[in-house]
């Protein structure tokens, strides 16, 4: 379960104003099995893109 520490740390992360999908990619990177299943249910296309980029040099897809 989230804690007060998680909430206050989110303020630090938010202050940096990262793009939404950058945060989502970070969630995918950090997720345990249970949370990964939840993320994949809600954002299957983003998870698929993360998996494609994961093993590519610099995370660059062909043509980027």
Q: How many domains does the chain divide into?
A: 1
pLDDT tens across 32-46, in order? 999 999 999 999 999
pTM: 0.86
> What residues contact residue 52 under an 8 Å CB cut-off, 6+ apart?
61
Let me know the angle formed at the C-alpha of 15 by 11 and 16, rounded to the nearest 5 degrees.
Answer: 130
Burial class (CB in 10 A: 0-12, 13-18, 19+), 58: exposed
Residue 46 belongs to some domain of the structure = yes
Of the candidates 32, 60, 37, the residue with the CA atom closest to the CA atom of residue 47: 37
Structural domain range at position 27: 17-59
pLDDT tens across 8-60, in order? 999 999 999 999 999 999 999 999 999 999 999 999 999 999 999 999 999 99
Residue 2 belongs to some domain of the structure = no
């Amino acid at each position: 379960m989230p804690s007060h520490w998680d909430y206050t740390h989110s303020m630090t992360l938010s202050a940096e104003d990262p793009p939404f999908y950058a945060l989502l990619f970070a969630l995918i990177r950090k997720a345990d099995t249970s949370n990964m299943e939840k993320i994949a249910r809600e954002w299957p296309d983003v998870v698929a893109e993360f998996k494609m980029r994961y093993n590519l040099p610099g995370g660059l897809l062909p043509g980027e």
